[in-house]
Structures are given as structure tokens and as C-alpha cells.
Structure 1
């Protein structure tokens, strides 16, 4: 599977990873009748045939293992997915036929509006208040109990550690109590595998989240090459901050608010500089653009305390011009990076056919339109998941859990009496894949170089004090 992702990003080796062609043995007695025996699998292939349903595509192995009654083993997998990496509490139940049995999301829109973005401690408390309810509702809507599950999948990173902990603790309680295997999921890989869920095997996957941007060539499940990453702020962060400074309604996050206001403005009215023009790589940087926007807002005496709904016609026009100018340059930076990444990816995998955009910003129609122009230059197809699968959700976590469970990549059930303060495997920073040689950022190297001299001077001063 040759594909490419743009998402957040250590390779996924914590789980029981088995190389292609190896034998694995699971001795756990799973809840489905099909698994009332020890399973032995060998040389399971990684090629799929797609069968399209109304909602999404269903994936079947080309040579599945069959039970004695003629039913495919994978047909029987039912996985609960739990997602709490940032500001949405989500859970879903998905089976290995690709059917979404339930999907529940509890939004923190009011908190976003109150704090103008994600406040980690507040987000953690919000997750803790609703996690039991969200998971139970997902089970109820699927008309299932925990004993009916084959496994539990949960996001363990990247994300906010306080938030990740809530979901992981809940997943481990369920898995421990009901003797279920647990799959630790990479948040960005989950966004990436939405593409395979929809039936696209070969793609340049380009996932945009509030916390990070990443460009990845996905060659197979768990085999990724990182072409570009975020060196400071991501596009979602830039949208959120700009929306806050312009006094926009943050209940739907900054992206939709900026996109709506930008339609009223002149995108050429303010000449913001495009980030990193001098760096010929695929990395992203939005910190400088944020500073330009803040200065433009200050120079026009725009008061964010006055909401856009109460602004005068002149004030609203000024805000709209800033929103439109910001969006033009922010997306231009994406275009340039994606265009270069496509060139690199095609050299590695000439058969690549798709650019898949996933993550929250993928819902932005302006982003889609501009990137659609980029892919046409290379005769690729732009693929965007449905809005409900673009933003953080439990479906993507459950499906990724199914994909890895099929390959034997999971952990055994946790202890039933695991203490509340147990040390958990949380990965707030978790790279996805191996860094492409050409993708090593000169900007990041310079950034480190600027830091090192100050550290050296501190060490030298400390040594001199000791000598005195």
C-alpha cells in the first residue's frame, strides 16, 4: 500500500509487532464463538478488496482465514474505540465489516469559546465528567455489552497528556474487567487510516489537526515515511488564534469562523509574507504568520472584546480583510508544501494516485478547493473523508484498532485491580514513521543551533563558579 499522510507524528513498536510472514499465536479466549479456540495465523497478506456501502467502504482480506462454519474470522471482530487526545470526548463501536454500529462525540465547544482555544486542565476535567456517559452511550446505541467486544482501542498519543490519560484509564478499566486485549492507537495514524476505511489503498495522506501538521508517505500499515512536519505552530492553531484575536465565535473552533468571515473580505488587502519561502522542504511553520496577523490587528485598533456581531460596518470590514488575507497565505503555505511532498512521494512510489486530506481543517472548503488545484497538476485525486470523520472521532480509533488487531499488534488485558496511579504508556509526542532524508528541516537545525550557544554559556558559567 503506497500512500502518503500529512499528520502529527517513534515508530509503532510498543505493541506486539510481528513482521510480515511471521507466525503469531494468541491464547486469549475471545468473546465471539469463532474464537473459542487458540488461533494460529501464518503469512497473512496485506492486500485488500473494497466493497462499497452507503456510508463507507468495507475492507476484506483477499485470503481471509475461515472458521469451520465458513465465516471469515475478521467478520466477527467488534472493537470499541475511545478518543480523548484533545478537546472532544469520543467513542464508537465498529466491526470488521466496516459497519459503524455507533458513534458518540461530546464537544467542548463552550470551553473553546470561553478560553479562546484548548485549556489542557479544563479539557481534562471535561473529559472526566463525560467519559463514562459517552462510552456507555456508544455501547447502548450499538446494542452491545462489554462482553460482546473483541478488543478495546484507545488513543495513547500524540496529544495532551492530561486528556490522553482519561481515555486510556477508561479503556484499561474495561479491558481489565472484561479480559479484553487493548490496542494503543496513534492519533494521526487513525486519521490516516480513515482513507483505507473509505476504500483508498494508495494515497498521499495529508492530515491537518489543531495541534500539528504532518506529511507522510504511507507504504503499508505501520510503515510510514515522514516527508514534512510542524516545526512550531500548526495551521489549526493559527486559525484558532486569529479567530480569537478577531473576536469571532469560537464555539465551532477557529477554522469555520475564519472561513465564513473571509468570504466578506479582500484576500489581497494585506500582504502577509508566506512562511518559510527560503526553505525548500516540506515542513510547516505558522508562528511567524500569527505574529504578522497580531500586528495587523493591533495597527487597526481592533478590540477582540467586542464580538464580531457587535462590530461596526467599518470594523467588520477590517476584520474580514484580515481573515481573508490570513487564510490566503495560510493555505498557500499548505499548497507549496504539499506540491513539493507530492513530487518527493512520486519519486519513491510512482504508482501513488491519491492525496487524502484528513483532520479538522479538511472540512474547510477553501482548503479543499486550493489543494484540488495542486493535485490536478500531478494527475492525482483529492480525497476528503466526510466531515464527521475529519474531526476527532471514535470511529477512526476503532478502525485502526481493527487493522492492528488483525496483524497481531495488541497488548494483553490489563490487571483487573490496576491502581488509579498506575504508570500508563502515554505518548504526548509520538513521531509517525521514519524521517525522509530530504525532509530534515534546515529551519529546525538553525533553531537548535540558536539554542545551543546559550546552553553552552550557562554550562561554562557553572563550571567557572565551581572552580572558584
Structure 2
């Protein structure tokens, strides 16, 4: 198999680095390289572009140095890791030339979540139009690009393949280098596009439908994972709770639940905070989801009735559950961030920023509560604008730019790449090396515990006696 990018997974999170000791500044990139092993392909590419100035060795007639200004770096970013087809064109100085997103909201509402095969088909139907529109809105063609960046993981392999295939077609046809991007790294690094003062090292909380990550970003490509989710991520818990409460999934369950929660009493339902007994930075939302489902059953809420058809009393009950769930779900984030800040400052005392990014970071309640945590610990909170928190092509393009400056990219694929070529995809792909103190006993489902208030219910009930028997069975398994 020909590796697209990222040959190793280590604490330095390194990509295939074909350059020796690349050097760059924030505004001007200077890459010192030796490309004699790659033949003339790069000579024709760079010398014919106005974006680069080249110096060649008189003896080998090969490029030994590429010098380019950030204004001349232009990267197309393609993102298809899950349920949105996105593309964007970004300049090296941070200027967003275009941003296009094709939503799968209709599919989400129809299937109550992401259906991988349907999502793949939806990506395939629109990927060409989305990319072309991104180029058109940037008033550029592929010939103006310096490189193509594309998400190769983590995500749904069927969906990732669509974006990678398109990226390789463009890169091969127009002789462009290609940068494979880690989806969660992109969520973290897009903060550096909107906050130019954000330098390494910094702490990042990445929260989305599939991920909860607390990461110490020590340098570009060098990450220490302080905490992760041991089961369900917060975004998935938001979506499931929203669906059970009969909310519309068209704009995403998270925003609908946050809106309903404003009507409720956040203290009315006594949900327990997950993993209080585990003194680490890991996350768990499976137990909280089960608590929500049991609360819905106990209040005899008809989950088949959409919120717009509910009586005022029923709506009030649902709002109380939404508000109580949100309070505890975010309190879990707060507690983990408190501990992560303490750990991170011991490793890197110069840290000044906490970056909060990912789809759930667009939630205003989340931002407000974490803002208080950061303020109390003397740090600054950096949250990208909501349109850059959800999955988008800008974050992919910008991450591609960051690594392109360092010379971390692959050479153009062949223009006649065979149809059966096996792409290097990373559906499951850790970001950095796990911090020793971050390992949790709860990683073993046999030792994970549940709240005492649920134990008696679970032990005295058969799966058939409860409407949500799959979660109850899981909880029994968790309880050992």
C-alpha cells in the first residue's frame, strides 16, 4: 500500500517528512530541501509558479531551497469524515477565500442520526459541486493552489474515502502535493487561525459527536493526550437526549436541546455527575444517558410525540430534563478541565490558553461555564466562531497550511491512479500519546461503576420491563 501521509503514530504525531530541518516564521516560510531523489517533477512545478522562488544546485540542477511568502500559499481543504461535505480555500496568512458546506440535515432527521452508507452516498453526490463552488467563490482554479489538504481520519471510513479520492484526483491531475489531516488536530489548530497570538504550548478541549479529548499541544504535531472518552462523547449524549425528548434533529440535537433547556429548571432532576470516583481527565456519558432515559420513563413522557405537539405540562417536563442533563453534562467537562489544567501546567508552565473547539463548542452554555473555569485558573479561553467549530473545510485547509510550511506533505499521486487503489484511511486514530496519569481504571468496562440510585432499578428489572433495555443491559455489564 502506498501511504498517503502520516507514517508513524508517536508522541510527536509525525507525518512522512521529506524535508530536512525545515524553518519557517509566522509570515514567511523558507524550506530547505533536497529533492534529487524525486526527479524533475518538482522543478517544473515550482519554477512555473509565481508563488515560489527557487534556488538550484549548479551541479545537480535540483531544487535545494524553496522560499515562499504566506500570502502566496493557497490550500484547498476537503472534509468528509462524517455527515457534512465541506471544502474551503485558505491563504497562508489566514485569509479565508471561500467556505462551502453541504449539510445532511434531511438524512439526520430521517434516520435519527448518521447512517454511514447513506452518508457516503450523499457525499458522493455533492463532492464535485462543493469543491468546484469553493474554487469558484475563491475566484481561483486548481492551478493556483499550492497543495490539497484532506481529512484521512478519524471518522467513518466510507465517508473519508469520498474526500480522499477527490483530493487525490485533484492533486494528481494538477501535480499538487497532498497533506493528510487528522480531524481532531484540525479542530484544535483552527483556533490559531482566528487567534494569531495563540502559540504553542496550549491546552485544548475537543468536544464533538464522536470525541471528547483533552490534549496538551506542545508543538505542531506533538500532542499529549490527557483525557479521552471511555464510551460515549458529549455530542452523542446531546443528540440522543434531544431525540428522546422529541426535538427536531434538523439543526442538530445539541442546539435544539440548548434552546429547550433555557425554559427548564436545571435543578429539578437530580442526575449524578459521571466518574466522580475517578481522579483523572477521562470522560463518560453512557451512564448519564441511561439516567436520562430512566427519568423520561418515570415521568411518563411519550417520546414518540414531537415537542411541537406536546402539551404545556409535557413540554415543561421535557425542558426540566433538558436543563438538568445539560447542567450535569457540562459540569463533567468543568471538573475534567480543572484537573487537566493542573496537569498541563506541571508539564508546560508557560501555558496561557485553553482552546475549546469541536461541534459542541458552539454551545453558548458550554462556553460560558468553561469561561469561568479558565478565568479562575488565570488562563485565556479561545473558542473559534460557531461556523468554525462544527466540521468544515477551513480547519482542514489551515491544518494543511501549518504542516505544508514544515514540509510535511506527500508528493503528488499519479494522474492515472487505478480505480482499485487502496487509500490510507485512519477511521480510528489517536491524537498523540496518552499521558501516564491519564490512564483510568474505568477504561475496563468491568470495573466501571454506576450510581447507587440506578443499581436497585437495574437489579430488580428485566430488560423487557424497561423501554430502553439495550442501555440497561450495557449498564449491567458495566457494573460487572
State the TM bucket, normalised to the shorter chain: 0.7 to 0.9
Q: What residue is the counterpart of 2:412 in the other structure?
A: 413
Establish whether residue 286 from structure 1 lines up as the match of residue 303 from structure 2.
no
Q: 1:85 aligns with which of 67, 72, 81?
A: 81
Distance (whole Å) between structure 1 residues aligned to residue 113 and residue 20 of structure 2: 41
Maintained 8 Å contact 1:191/1:390: yes
Q: What residue is the counterpart of 1:25 in the other structure?
A: 34
Q: What residue is the counterpart of 2:320 in the other structure?
A: 321
Q: What residue is the counterpart of 2:129 in the other structure?
A: 133
Q: What residue is the counterpart of 1:101 in the other structure?
A: 97
CA-based RMSD? 2.0
Maintained 8 Å contact 2:87/2:99: yes
Question: Residue 34 of structure 2: SS of its match in structure 1?
Answer: strand
Distance (whole Å) between structure 2 residues aligned to residue 20 and residue 303 of structure 1: 63
Maintained 8 Å contact 2:15/2:408: no
Distance (whole Å) between structure 1 residues aligned to residue 183 and residue 18 of structure 2: 18
Q: How does 1:388-427 map to 2 (within 5 A)?
A: 388-427=387-426
Distance (whole Å) between structure 2 residues aligned to residue 301 and residue 421 of structure 1: 53
1:304 Cα deviation from its structure 2 partner: 2.4
Q: Alignment length, in residue pairs?
A: 413
Establish whether residue 164 from structure 1 lines up as the match of residue 181 from structure 2.
no
Distance (whole Å) between structure 2 residues aligned to residue 150 and residue 195 of structure 1: 22
Moved more, 418-427 or 296-305: 296-305
Distance (whole Å) between structure 2 residues aligned to residue 447 and residue 191 of structure 1: 32
Distance (whole Å) between structure 2 residues aligned to residue 368 and residue 103 of structure 1: 24
Distance (whole Å) between structure 2 residues aligned to residue 305 and residue 447 of structure 1: 33
Question: Residue 411 of structure 1: SS of its match in structure 2?
Answer: coil
Maintained 8 Å contact 1:85/1:187: yes
1:18 Cα deviation from its structure 2 partner: 5.3
TM-score, normalised to structure 1's length? 0.85
Maintained 8 Å contact 2:213/2:228: yes
Q: How does 1:56-455 map to 2 (within 5 A)?
A: 72-198=68-194, 199=196, 200-202=198-200, 203-445=202-444, 447=446
Maintained 8 Å contact 1:195/1:201: no
1:447 Cα deviation from its structure 2 partner: 4.6
Distance (whole Å) between structure 1 residues aligned to residue 138 and residue 155 of structure 2: 28
Question: Once the two structures are superposed, what CA deviation does each residue of 1:206-237 show, in whole Å capped at 9, x if it has no partner?
Answer: 11111111000001100111100111100000
Question: Once the two structures are superposed, what CA deviation does each residue of 1:102-161 show, in whole Å capped at 9, x if it has no partner?
Answer: 110111111111112111111111111110000000000011111111110000001111
Note the residue ranges of structure 1 that are not aligned, 5 or more in a row: 1-9, 41-64, 451-468
Distance (whole Å) between structure 2 residues aligned to residue 135 and residue 155 of structure 1: 14
Distance (whole Å) between structure 2 residues aligned to residue 196 and residue 39 of structure 1: 33
Maintained 8 Å contact 1:156/1:425: yes
